[in-house]
Amino acid sequence: MTVLTGDMQTMQEKREPLKGGWKASIYLVGVEVAERFAIFGVSGNLITYLTEVVHESTASAAKNVNIWIGVSSLLPLLGGFVADTYLGRRKTILFASLIYMMGLVLVMLSVSLVPLRFQHVLVLLSLYLVAVGQGGHKPCVQTFGADQFDENNPEEKKAKSSFFNWWYFGISAGASAAILVVYYVQDNVGWLIGFALPAMAMALSLAIFLLGWKSYRQQVCHGSPLTQVAQVFTAAYRKRHVHYIEDGYVEIHEEGHQQPLTCSNQFKFLNKATIIDAIDELSETRNGWRLCSVAEVEEVKLLIRLTPVWLSCLPYGVIFAQGGTFFTKQGGTMNTRIWHDLQIPPASLLVFTGLAVVLTVPIYDKIFVPFARRITGFTSGISMLQRIGTGIFLAIMRLWWLLW
């Protein structure tokens, strides 16, 4: 949840000279490259390890992998809450990296130092420890990188748009390197070394993060955006029987907003959270669970408007989940020998997605964006919705071509 903007991102920057910007964000890109190498080095070929070493059935291994991935995807909600409310992003990344690394070391130790009858238990425990580390790491690093750029500075705002392109380039590069190197080592050299490589990559990620420790722009915790969302819905529900004209008026109370927001006509039932009733008038302080600002209500509305985008991405998520399980097992039935004794691990077939990103991001950022910027006037070349829509359209065309 830490990726939300405006007051929903409840972290206000302390402007510090000579801190932040590309200097600090480069460290964070390096952190994410190493972290992606680590997680893909474990997850992509995990089903092969569970079936061939731990001796689980394909169905059981696929179930365990998908449950683990599902838990890993939900824990960032908790990690984001902790970062926003208590620790801040910088400390959350630090502690999460330590837990992350401990989990990867335990995965490595499960290969040879534990009797076979206990191997299954240790593997699962270590994987869920990795999930806990990822839960604190994943929601914070990218947002922390974006925080290094000042939205009020035109040059930094333009650099921030470019930062996200190169961020994704780094993610794909790290993942592709793991797919090509780690899976080959796991299948042809040994699982102990194959799992040692991700553990060392996570140690490198932590070292890079600490190198940039003093260059990061600092922030102050002001609570979780989840609390604000809950307050708006609670306040609107409490005043569900209140009418604008008869019982009160709309409170225009902007907190920390540089651009005032006005009540929109969408989701009008939430506007009642801004009405001052008799109880509010008698109170000396504003109770956030009874009275919310217009800005707070409008930001919750923005969150609701994202629901169609999230729903449209669900089918993609279902298909994407097959890559690390049944797609890999199906690849094992193919003849993957390409040159004499060189045999490509089945899990390494996933590399083509990452390589496509690595090849296209420089073209997109250096050629397409400057060209589109002159036409549209957008700092990012085209809008975010246009980027998402284009990506979904191309994915549909690819699937349609495969079906035929």
Picking from 267, 262, 337, 259, the residue whose alpha carbon sits closest to that of residue 301 is 267
How much is the pLDDT for 204? 97
pLDDT surpassing 60 at residue 160: yes
How much is the pLDDT for 78? 93
Q: Which neighbouring-strand residues pair with 221?
A: 11
404 — pLDDT class (breaks 50, 70, 90): low
Mean pLDDT along residues 281-310: 88
Picking from 138, 152, 67, the residue whose alpha carbon sits closest to that of residue 99 is 138
326 — pLDDT class (breaks 50, 70, 90): low
User: For the chain, what is the mean pLDDT?
Assistant: 82
How much is the pLDDT for 277? 83
Under a CB-based contact definition with an 8 Å cutoff, are residues 120 and 54 in contact?
Answer: yes
* 56 vs 312: CA distance, rounded Å: 34
How much is the pLDDT for 261? 56
Q: What are phi and psi of 3, to 5 degrees?
A: -85, -5
Poorest-confidence range of 248-257, 260-269, 318-327, 379-388?
A: 248-257
Q: Angle at which helices 191-211 and 154-188 pack, to 10 degrees? A: 160
Which domains are seen in the chain, by residue range?
Answer: 6-221+321-378 (1.20.1250.20), 225-305 (no CATH)
The model's pTM: 0.76
Position with higher pLDDT, 229 vs 223: 229
Under a CB-based contact definition with an 8 Å cutoff, are residues 21 and 149 in contact?
Answer: yes
**Residue 325 CB-half CA count within 13 A:** 19
403 — pLDDT class (breaks 50, 70, 90): low
How much is the pLDDT for 247? 43
How much is the pLDDT for 244? 59
Under a CB-based contact definition with an 8 Å cutoff, are residues 58 and 329 in contact?
Answer: yes
How much is the pLDDT for 251? 45
Encoded tokens for 4:
């939300």
Position with higher pLDDT, 35 vs 166: 35
12 — pLDDT class (breaks 50, 70, 90): very low
